[in-house]
Structure 1
């Protein structure tokens, strides 16, 4: 081995010597020998050894000096006393005089001297060791909320309240991701003694908030720690919101500035469910790390139940803003949460949807869906993979155009997009081919299959049964093609299963005026009259709007996307984009579908 290898790692050198003693000319031995003689490998080993040696000596690295800027100034002063004409001297002199380089040195010195640590007040010399343990926490004021019974401007990411038993000011909750949470020093239950040196004894939350609002720069808290009530671990639960929420319109939220607004369909990351009525959450994908308050599932279910009891015919799905008054809640003064004396309607409760035990027909019968209480649905990402083909389901009111969109989508690529052949009990016509237009079966056979749950939808027309079998859908999916369906909306309960994992698109009509104008201009023919071809009536347009609103109210929590069918060409373009995305991008689905 030549002299250039004298400083190589001894262990690798011994391993190489041993390898040369092996009498073998195999490729593996040759490869290993070449690797052990690699200069890059030996350089990496040396770096590794130095790091290990440093860690064994001390767990931390320390700066060589903490006055680098002062040394630089001394060097510049020395350079001013001599005359050197070399290029290296000129380059170094120019570098040391650059503002950016000097700023880096000043930053180095600040870090080395730990000047970034907050300067806390000294502990009084006459402090009594037997007094109650306190902690002093200093935070930089930011645009984060700290509120109590009254609303307050954003400050440090926590809420306060008056303890009902002791009358003292305590930390009600710490917002995940906020300044208080990031400090790791403030916890729910901590008693506030002083704020910026001002005692909070006999003060209300509003008084404390006034002190905080008038503070500039840093805020110093003196707290009595609540032992055994450390911060909770962040949850990993993701949910899809099934309703709209605006904290500014909620009179019972503990702190409006701490509320998180969201829209139906938003994906929320639930970071804390410690409070029975107010969860902490972030919108998935938001860069803001601080969590906000949202109503819990139990609270929102109570609101919806109250709304339905107050107005059972409501179709807009807007819930009355009402909150249970709880002894340990930090929502301020106790306020009756229900306009009726029956407050039990707002307590957390579970409602089991009724199971339909009869064969339904095309006539509407949604009584069995009235008890569904959509609030949040736990979701997870479903990643595309070979063999995973999700059916596309178009649902909407009769006459809205979902069947026409289905036909046009299939026409774009008949080899890829396929609609299952429907079953019927009517007699086969001479011009028809079994399995092409329809699959013809006896009425007895079809009724038996319906009773056994083998049809995703079925109905009767002029004394004959019609329907779509679940097996025909699965056959298309298993063949690697995309099954496209436009079923009756009640079929969603049979389709939306972990086995099929459909992608459900709601075809929504435009406004009544636009619906009438666009269909009239396109000479659209009514789908309400199968006996003759005629235009839609104004009453039929109104029926489309009413039926669409009802479908959205009862089944909207199942929809993945929405298309407003104002212009057929534009709606088809949107549908094609969605059809491509569902087979190529990871999408949020019910969590049970990916387990």
Structure 2
């Protein structure tokens, strides 16, 4: 033993000293002697001793962080502002994007955010053996909702557990399941009582809550789903009069990524926002429920453009968890509001040209997504869409000018005659009208149109050629072209170029002496009517196609919008991003 081993575990030291007294034993003793002197074993024993010592104390374990994955994502976002990179920078960037490292960090956060040491009193022993099988469940009452919902069973009239919220205290206990019959709460029988009566008992309880339950055999909790979706609408549970419990609702905004943990209920799903530190799930309207609301709204006001939810909502008759108790006094009812049967969404065959009838029939609610990780050979096109005059073509030109070798736009096709100053394949690819009409008929153009008797269009083959060359294809097509572009084959990143308010639009364009894009014959300033048309057209595009957009850029200041576009272009090629799930299968 030397000074380097003075801090070794005393038990190991004593065992090692005893081995020296053994005169025989051959290879086994030699192996054991070498093992006991290894630094690896000593380190493991020290870790074990610290854990045992900590478990003997009343103090809980507290991790240094409980949001390690969120910190990692913030670091990756900061990297987007770094222009000069070193070898160490590149290695760290690759390491932080490794799925195995991210999985470890997510697992760490899941463990760090849970409390494993509830202190409960002894379970009462006065259970009558002659009663039917029951279970006693005790939960600590705290600021956290207990995460269970109750209702009166329509057939038996008894109080039963209607829903257990994933990640809540009731779910983490593993002892309360949907369908369990409630016999007593804190020693008080709930026979002939309503959910509101049970709420009163719970509100007057302090410390712990004790449930006596009749188990619902064969109706255990469902496994947590792994489905992630992108929300395509805004939702505020406090404004929804038909949610079973407002306190149990999960608010979200359009574009948020939601982890759908349970779809057992036909009308109310359980979900968490991806990346949230809170592990308890909340209630959100199901796809079927939200589609019904939107259809009802469109029938009531076909001209609506704001996507607000309608008030017709079939709702399950439950009483749900409040802020500090597992239920609230929502009265039972078979339905809160009768709804008419919903009409089937009609299918209309359409081509690339504008077709409002088809687009209005698309009902955006949720889109299942998965992470798409950057890899060699995967270059996603950047598609800028927006109203005429909003500045998307100018942003495209300026983006390409920052690096013409990296950012490329396809050369458009035309049927017009070639001018002597033009070079075929540079300004345009010149083809005959018959050839172009045939290619349009064969679906070879992602967009096309006619101006002064001549056809113009963008070839799908040209886009694929750029993508396959390893360069970034930058497009600013008509919004109708998104139907052809948003495919698993191209996997575009779609950016909506949005105008500022009308007042700021007029002010900024006038100050910049912007020229109207509505008049091809002469150069002049925008009229006030044209500014109004830009706002109106932008709202219409967002209403019809907003569910396809990956990001929005408000083009108030052109330089600021370009800076935002450059940062976005870097993220698209270097960070894992959420895309439709079919794109990564």
Task: Say if 1:109 and 1:547 are closer, same or farther in 2 by CA, change over 3 A.
Answer: closer
Q: Structure 2 CA distance, aligned partners of 1:79 and 1:466?
A: 41
> How far has the Cα of 1:198 moved from its partner?
1.9
1:3-36 Cα deviation digits (max 9, x unpaired): 9999999999999999999999999999999999
> How far has the Cα of 1:80 moved from its partner?
64
Q: Structure 2 CA distance, aligned partners of 1:40 and 1:574?
A: 50
Q: Structure 1 CA distance, aligned partners of 2:455 and 2:525?
A: 28
Task: Say if 1:357 and 1:72 are closer, same or farther in 2 by CA, change over 3 A.
Answer: closer
Task: Say if 1:252 and 1:32 are closer, same or farther in 2 by CA, change over 3 A.
Answer: same
- The answer to whether the Cα contact below 8 Å between 1:66 and 1:113 also exists between their aligned partners in 2 is yes
Q: Structure 2 CA distance, aligned partners of 1:413 and 1:77?
A: 22
Q: Structure 2 CA distance, aligned partners of 1:460 and 1:346?
A: 53
> How far has the Cα of 1:142 moved from its partner?
2.2
Unaligned runs of 5+ in 2: none
Query: More displaced, 187-196 or 423-432?
Result: 187-196
Aligned to 1:498, what secondary structure does the other structure show? Answer: coil
Q: Structure 1 CA distance, aligned partners of 2:441 and 2:107?
A: 77
Query: More displaced, 69-78 or 541-550?
Result: 69-78
Aligned to 1:170, what secondary structure does the other structure show? Answer: strand
- The answer to whether the Cα contact below 8 Å between 2:228 and 2:257 also exists between their aligned partners in 1 is yes
> How far has the Cα of 1:52 moved from its partner?
18
Q: Structure 1 CA distance, aligned partners of 2:351 and 2:74?
A: 94
Q: Structure 1 CA distance, aligned partners of 2:355 and 2:76?
A: 89
- The answer to whether the Cα contact below 8 Å between 2:250 and 2:284 also exists between their aligned partners in 1 is yes
Aligned to 1:345, what secondary structure does the other structure show? Answer: coil
> How far has the Cα of 1:226 moved from its partner?
1.2
Aligned to 1:288, what secondary structure does the other structure show? Answer: coil
Does residue 280 of structure 2 align to residue 290 of structure 1?
yes
2:354 aligns to what?
364
1:226-261 Cα deviation digits (max 9, x unpaired): 111111111100000000000001111111100000
> How far has the Cα of 1:347 moved from its partner?
13
Task: Say if 1:496 and 1:354 are closer, same or farther in 2 by CA, change over 3 A.
Answer: farther
1:114-133 Cα deviation digits (max 9, x unpaired): 99987877788775433111
1:539-588 Cα deviation digits (max 9, x unpaired): 11110001000000000000000000001111111101101110111100
> How far has the Cα of 1:286 moved from its partner?
0.4
Task: Say if 1:452 and 1:19 are closer, same or farther in 2 by CA, change over 3 A.
Answer: farther
> How far has the Cα of 1:275 moved from its partner?
0.6
Task: Say if 1:469 and 1:91 are closer, same or farther in 2 by CA, change over 3 A.
Answer: closer
- The answer to whether the Cα contact below 8 Å between 2:249 and 2:282 also exists between their aligned partners in 1 is yes
- The answer to whether the Cα contact below 8 Å between 2:162 and 2:318 also exists between their aligned partners in 1 is no
- Considering Cα pairs closer than 8 Å and 6+ residues apart, tell me whether 1 or 2 has the greater RCO: 2
- The answer to whether the Cα contact below 8 Å between 2:411 and 2:427 also exists between their aligned partners in 1 is yes
- The answer to whether the Cα contact below 8 Å between 1:306 and 1:346 also exists between their aligned partners in 2 is no
Aligned to 1:577, what secondary structure does the other structure show? Answer: helix
> How far has the Cα of 1:537 moved from its partner?
0.7
- The answer to whether the Cα contact below 8 Å between 1:421 and 1:439 also exists between their aligned partners in 2 is yes
Q: Structure 1 CA distance, aligned partners of 2:556 and 2:335?
A: 41
Aligned to 1:453, what secondary structure does the other structure show? Answer: coil
- The answer to whether the Cα contact below 8 Å between 2:319 and 2:332 also exists between their aligned partners in 1 is no
- The answer to whether the Cα contact below 8 Å between 1:254 and 1:332 also exists between their aligned partners in 2 is no
Aligned to 1:51, what secondary structure does the other structure show? Answer: helix
1:518 counterpart (487, 496, 508): 508
Q: Structure 2 CA distance, aligned partners of 1:556 and 1:360?
A: 19
Question: 1:47-58 to 2 correspondence within 5 Å?
Answer: none
Superposition CA RMSD, Å: 15.0
- What TM-score does the superposition give when structure 1 sets the normalisation length? 0.75
Query: More displaced, 274-283 or 8-17?
Result: 8-17
Task: Say if 1:190 and 1:80 are closer, same or farther in 2 by CA, change over 3 A.
Answer: closer
> How far has the Cα of 1:44 moved from its partner?
9.2
Task: Say if 1:415 and 1:339 are closer, same or farther in 2 by CA, change over 3 A.
Answer: farther
- The answer to whether the Cα contact below 8 Å between 2:267 and 2:316 also exists between their aligned partners in 1 is no
Aligned to 1:107, what secondary structure does the other structure show? Answer: helix
> How far has the Cα of 1:435 moved from its partner?
0.1
Q: Structure 2 CA distance, aligned partners of 1:474 and 1:129?
A: 74
Larger Rg: 1
Aligned to 1:115, what secondary structure does the other structure show? Answer: coil
1:401-455 Cα deviation digits (max 9, x unpaired): 0000000000111111001000000110111000000000011111111111110
> How far has the Cα of 1:221 moved from its partner?
1.2
- The answer to whether the Cα contact below 8 Å between 1:325 and 1:336 also exists between their aligned partners in 2 is no
1:483 aligns to what?
473
Query: More displaced, 403-412 or 359-368?
Result: 359-368
1:127-184 Cα deviation digits (max 9, x unpaired): 54331111111111123336xxxxxxxxxx1111111222221111111000000000
Query: More displaced, 562-571 or 314-323?
Result: 314-323
Task: Say if 1:288 and 1:330 are closer, same or farther in 2 by CA, change over 3 A.
Answer: closer
1:153 aligns to what?
none
Aligned to 2:229, what secondary structure does the other structure show? Answer: strand
Aligned to 1:350, what secondary structure does the other structure show? Answer: coil
Aligned to 1:318, what secondary structure does the other structure show? Answer: coil
Task: Say if 1:13 and 1:180 are closer, same or farther in 2 by CA, change over 3 A.
Answer: closer
- The answer to whether the Cα contact below 8 Å between 1:459 and 1:465 also exists between their aligned partners in 2 is yes
Task: Say if 1:230 and 1:348 are closer, same or farther in 2 by CA, change over 3 A.
Answer: farther
- What TM-score does the superposition give when structure 2 sets the normalisation length? 0.76
